[in-house]
Structure 1
């Protein structure tokens, strides 16, 4: 292996540097290529390798812009060698006078161009080298852009699964949700959340955390979130709901490695209560005019730890006329508390909340997440899901009622104030005409 560097008048900004790897076992041909490169007027760095095996090693340890490959090398398997080199580098194939067909086949296999030995002039080499490098970089940029686009589309699909829009009807509760994956550039993790107002007029919410990270945890998180929403809309509640979610988890997980913790919440605005079921999850936070504190609630076992045990007691929490509940996963509290090296924990989180001025819920949640991440300074990474529910019973809240929703936009929704629920609409057909 030999390396030659050549410079030409002009600054580095004016003349780009071309790093060329020549794979050639004939010293005379290698010297000819070097002289031709010198005559092109390009700034270049030429490395010569006599075998394809050595070249492969160099490609993993050095930055190379273009490969000049002699197909007559003893260990070069024709176009198969081009297929191995072409994905990451510009490749120009060197052929004999009677091997034009081999050159075109090499281009079909991934080479950017080919040159015939003995018929190469400096200007032709200059144009070919510049074009090959430009084309290779353009193709690589297009592939990277496509990868980023596909990742964004996949992230969007997963986000729709893990962070869906709430299904609300007559509820006056203000819902704010946030989700952040723990790993940079990762797909969404195993945390999940959802809010649904049932036909019983109650607001139902869930926040959960599947053990582990990555695609498997994210897939289970989406699955459990969809299962929860379907079961809620199907009328399942409390312990029975958790039992069915656990059955789904056990049936879909790969082995026994994954389990899930979650908090179920049913908020009754009319009665001013919230019913909690904790399945291995920590308590939510409640905000009242006196400040924010952790709710006291009975604990149950995480889903999938001991399938079939059904140990999920309920806790009924009285709610103030105006207040908020915050359900979250441990990504919000397991980070570090600034320079102390200690975990932030629930006490640290409460101190942050109570030290800040009241704000719009979205501003409040964003500010809280930003502050915890600032204190953590990247020392702990975990998925993070936050669900903030704020209510004000001084605003008129409707009585619980059964609503029949319809897909026909011309008919009322069953919500008070819509034409279908307006007594003055009696005696009219659905088009507003007298019957």
Structure 2
């Protein structure tokens, strides 16, 4: 094992530094490769190891973007060596070194995943220069393509989840204006377990739900989609209130398997003719009511979250009188659990109401977007949890929304 060799001789100022790992157990061949690299004019840092086991440590300890691999090592040989090194460094360029008598070894190594091969004793400096540069470029291109493909697949998967978590409102004659937004709590992850939906029933009433499955990632998201679809189906089937929540809890318990997930939600039934909203809170917080006088939190009775104590079935109803014009905003706690500025305490409902009071008058969609943006900035530009917001507007436009 030798210390890394670094050279910048003859390299142009804009030439990248190639971090090369040579895995070669023959001291004479190691010296020849090092001299050849010096002759190429490349800017490089060379690390040498004599076995695959030693190479594993070097790959873990330092940045390597090109591996020169002898096919006859004490602990690996032939295509097995290529397969092993590709498993250790799947996004690193691999160039195999073959002997003069190994006519098929190079092509077999490339079939096993190497970018290129060189025949010992027949390599000149210009060939080494081109081979290293091309192998690294090809490896970087393959990695970029793989990452782009993974991003496309992730985007498609998120889009499928979004269609489940953010469905189109099912409205027939209702004049209520619906605004919905959803933001995942972390970048480059699957959507979390927040869900929302709005449908108009055969009774002419508008039914809405906003919910939050505990946890994050695909399991919570899948359960959120399941509960959202179940809620829509049950509402259209005529189920309401305690009966509806009882059935949703049964579905949650069946679908969560051995994971101790639970869900909170707010059910809302809006009756424009009677000017009332009926609320059922299952471990969730109250919605906000916006009128020409401002925005306040609705006072409502609380019930237990779904899946916490199955069979309790305690979800009291609260009937709230509504003004001729206004808006109800249902949301998940991702909107309020962030900090109210650097080093400050949690925003909370009081902080949210103070923030809303200072927002300029805007249309509903712009108001929701601005509200999310402001809470995001107060929390140092990040969402610590998923955020789902559903706003229902009726009558003429409220003064602050």
What TM-score results when the alignment is normalised by the length of structure 1?
0.87
SS of equivalent residue, structure 2 residue 4: strand
Q: Which residue of 2 aligns with 1:186?
A: 189
Contact 2:23–2:52 at 8 Å: present in 1 too?
A: yes
Contact 1:100–1:116 at 8 Å: present in 2 too?
A: no
Contact 1:269–1:393 at 8 Å: present in 2 too?
A: no
Deviations 1:100-140 (A, max 9, x none): 22222111110111111111122222222121111111111
Contact 1:276–1:316 at 8 Å: present in 2 too?
A: yes
Q: Determine the C-alpha separation between the residues in 2 that align with 1:210 and 1:174.
A: 26
Q: Determine the C-alpha separation between the residues in 1 that align with 2:98 and 2:148.
A: 34
**Residue 243 (structure 1) shift:** 0.7
| Range with greater deviation from structure 2 (4-13 or 49-58) | 4-13
Q: Which residue of 2 aligns with 1:307?
A: 310
Q: Which residue of 1 aligns with 2:371?
A: 368
**Residue 254 (structure 1) shift:** 2.8
Q: Determine the C-alpha separation between the residues in 2 that align with 1:230 and 1:139.
A: 46
Match 1:345 to one of 344, 348, 352: 348
Q: Which residue of 1 aligns with 2:9?
A: 8
**Residue 251 (structure 1) shift:** 0.3
Q: Determine the C-alpha separation between the residues in 1 that align with 2:258 and 2:105.
A: 52
Q: Determine the C-alpha separation between the residues in 2 that align with 1:147 and 1:2.
A: 37
Contact 2:185–2:387 at 8 Å: present in 1 too?
A: yes
- Pick closer, same or farther for the CA change 1:54–1:265 going to 2, 3 Å: same
**Residue 327 (structure 1) shift:** 0.3
- Pick closer, same or farther for the CA change 1:220–1:99 going to 2, 3 Å: same
Q: Determine the C-alpha separation between the residues in 1 that align with 2:210 and 2:84.
A: 48
Q: Determine the C-alpha separation between the residues in 2 that align with 1:81 and 1:269.
A: 73
**Residue 168 (structure 1) shift:** 1.1
Deviations 1:368-407 (A, max 9, x none): 111111112157601111101110079xxxxxxxxxxxxx
Aligned pairs for 1:17-416 (under 5 A) are 17-86=17-86, 87-255=90-258, 257-339=260-342, 341-377=344-380, 381-392=384-395
Q: State the Cα RMSD in Å.
A: 1.6
Where in structure 1 do 4 or more consecutive aligned residues deviate above 2 Å? 8-12, 355-358
SS of equivalent residue, structure 2 residue 110: helix
Q: Determine the C-alpha separation between the residues in 1 that align with 2:45 and 2:71.
A: 22
Q: Determine the C-alpha separation between the residues in 2 that align with 1:175 and 1:133.
A: 52
**Residue 196 (structure 1) shift:** 0.7
Contact 2:376–2:383 at 8 Å: present in 1 too?
A: no
Contact 2:22–2:68 at 8 Å: present in 1 too?
A: yes
Contact 2:182–2:387 at 8 Å: present in 1 too?
A: yes
Q: Determine the C-alpha separation between the residues in 2 that align with 1:347 and 1:2.
A: 61
Deviations 1:42-80 (A, max 9, x none): 222211111111111111221112111111110114312
Q: Determine the C-alpha separation between the residues in 1 that align with 2:5 and 2:396.
A: 80
Contact 2:91–2:140 at 8 Å: present in 1 too?
A: no
Deviations 1:340-391 (A, max 9, x none): 5211111111111122232100111111111111112157601111101110
- Pick closer, same or farther for the CA change 1:271–1:378 going to 2, 3 Å: same
Q: Determine the C-alpha separation between the residues in 2 that align with 1:333 and 1:65.
A: 45
Gaps of 5+ in 2: none
| Range with greater deviation from structure 2 (355-364 or 224-233) | 355-364
What TM-score results when the alignment is normalised by the length of structure 2?
0.94
Q: Determine the C-alpha separation between the residues in 2 that align with 1:249 and 1:12.
A: 62
Gaps of 5+ in 1: 395-435
